[in-house]
Amino acid sequence: MIDLELLRNNPEIIKEEIKKRQMKIDVDKDIKLDDGRRSLIFEIDELRAKKNEASKKIPKLKGEEKNKLISQMKNLNQSLQILEEKLNKVEEKFYASLANYPNISNSSTPVGKDENDNVVEYFKGEKPEFSFEPKNHIQLGTRLDILDEKRAAKISGSRFVFLKRDAVLLEFALVRYVLDLLIGKGFILMIPPTLVKQDAMHGTGFFPAEKTQYYKTELDDLYLIGTAEVPLCAYHGDEFLDIEDLPLKYAGFSSCFRREAGTYGKDMGGMFRVHQFDKVEMFIFSNPRNSWDDYEYLRDTVEEVIGSLGIHYRIMNMCTGDIGNPNAKKYDLEAWLPGQQNYRELASCSHDTDYQSRRLNIKYKDGKKKDFVHTMNSTACAVGRTLIAIYENYQTKEGNIKIPEALVPYMNGKKIISAED
RNA sequence: GGAGGGGUGGCAGAGUCUGGUUGAUUGCGGCGGUCUUGAAAACCGUUGAGGGUUUUCCUUCCGGGGGUUCAAAUCCCUCCCCCUCCGCCA
């Protein structure tokens, strides 16, 4: 949700933003809707004031006078009803249109059309060198019998996998490692519901969306989350947060479900792009005054997670044409995958300013001042993709997989996954 | 799934039967003040959120939605949520 004051006073800023994002929205039409809406509210309020006044008089009156006023009020109610119906229609239109408005991007977000205009900020770590042709994670996982996509396809269709044997232990090791790291930084741990109501999807900016974009349960109007961002953000919906508690940092572990509509043929096979995966997601409620510092801290944190696993990556500053509606800014962390000889998205770190907090009504009080908090989120560890990065970066000539040093204690001292086990 | 009870301002808790200066008594908490070297206690005052207008007022909100009525926290319908008991169950 955008600020209505901005729409009224600086519509050119919004129009400019829409252009930057390659979107098409008729802003002037919505300004007219808002004007109409406000004059209706004014008329309605006046009638209601009359009505309230009469309601105080009526019990004191008697006989003819009383009946006269009552019948006057009956008439007034008819005009009131007509106006209210009008207002309802206008508001419905107005807010439905407003729901499609993007956030205002930060000045540091590069303006661009699509993913080709994203900007490489910097590289971290070293590409591993192999004296042999590195395998991809599917070859490695299948050989070691820790990944089974064929049977997953039999049971559930394409884009599902079974994690098996040491892959399961490695997932839990990874998750526990990451949780420990985040506990140390004061994050509050969560396991949120993975089924949520429409309001939560809408409030976080995932709705409105095409029906093909998400999973929905048949009987209960509940939606499967694509990320823990949704329940973590909606967690404080309709609340005032104590300014002393900001920044309020959560880390949520959940399964994530994505239909991946429109990606047919892309990244087929393996577990890079699957309908279901597990993820530790960080979510921060922030004081707007410090939120851009908190955001860099958030980026530092995901870099620490991936960096400490010894994976080479680069940080991308995503352009206006490639960030989501709620995002004012977004970094992607792209890890080097030797099996693909390419950098691929492992994590995503977004600053949504007050876009979500407006929709979900999450505020803080600073003395007498009331304002919306800022929200931001970042992947801490998308387990499937991180496993891919580990498999491919830590493979040996024989096709075994070494365990990253940081995870060894979490694997009961095990240092390598090999076929001989 | 069956039976019953309940959702009121930051919290607790009246008001609902018997509709009308009740946006709502009271207590706690919060804020301001008096007192005090300071604090506590005591006392006094103040204290919900949204919208429109704009500094003055108006309006909406007692779980959500709908209805009855000149008038609804209060009556009716419906949905949601919570609690207790029974059944079932990881």
**Tens digit of pLDDT for each residue in A311-368?**
999 999 999 999 999 999 999 999 999 999 999 999 999 999 999 999 998 998 877 7
| Number of C-beta neighbours around residue A89 at 10 A | 11
Distance CA A72, CA A115 (A): 64
How much is the average pLDDT of A366-375? 85
**CA A6 → CA A13, A27, A236, A353, distances in Å?**
8, 12, 25, 15
Which nucleotide has the least CA–C1' distance to A77?
B70
CA of A368 to C1' of B40 (A): 27
CA of A33 to C1' of B71 (A): 32
Give the contacts of A4 (CB within 8 A, at least 6 positions apart).
A34
Give yes or no for a contact between A143 and A165, defined as CB atoms under 8 angstroms apart.
no
Residue A103 identity: N
Distance CA A319, CA A70 (A): 62
Name the band, by pLDDT with cuts 50, 70 and 90, for residue A218: confident
ipTM of the complex: 0.85
User: DSSP code of A117?
Assistant: G
Structure tokens given for A116: 């080709």
pLDDT digits (tens, 9 = 90+) for A13-36: 999 999 999 999 999 999 999 999
pLDDT digits (tens, 9 = 90+) for A246-285: 899 999 999 999 999 888 888 989 999 999 999 999 999 9
List bases in chain B with any atom under 7 Å of a protein Cβ. 10, 20-21, 49-53, 58-60, 70-71
Structure tokens given for A29: 């039409």
Homologous superfamily of A115-417: Bira Bifunctional Protein; Domain 2 (3.30.930.10)
Give yes or no for a contact between A20 and A117, defined as CB atoms under 8 angstroms apart.
no
Name the band, by pLDDT with cuts 50, 70 and 90, for residue A6: very high
Architecture of domain A4-98: Orthogonal Bundle (1.10)
Give the contacts of A244 (CB within 8 A, at least 6 positions apart).
none
CA of A358 to C1' of B1 (A): 40
**Dihedral angle at the C-alpha atoms of A393, A226, A317, A20, nearest 10 degrees?**
150
Which nucleotide has the least CA–C1' distance to A66?
B70
Residue closest to A395 by CA, chosen among A420, A414, A417: A417
Which nucleotide has the least CA–C1' distance to A76?
B70
The per-residue pLDDT for A222 is 85
First to last CA, chain A: 55
Distance CA A332, CA A319 (A): 11
Which nucleotide has the least CA–C1' distance to A37?
B52
Q: Which residues of A are catalytic?
A: 258, 273, 345, 348, 385
Q: How many CA atoms lie within 13 A of A272 on its CB side?
A: 22
Residue A145 identity: D
* SS3 assignment, position A198: helix
Structure tokens given for A242: 């104590």
Residues engaging strand B (CB under 7 angstroms): A 4, 38, 41-42, 44-46, 48-49, 51-56, 58-59, 70, 73-74, 77, 240, 363, 370
Q: Are strands A248-257 and A188-190 parallel, antiparallel or unpaired?
A: parallel
User: DSSP code of A319?
Assistant: -
Q: Hey, where are the domains in chain A?
A: 4-98, 115-417
Q: Which helix (H) or strand (E) holds A283?
A: strand A276-286
Give yes or no for a contact between A362 and A285, defined as CB atoms under 8 angstroms apart.
yes
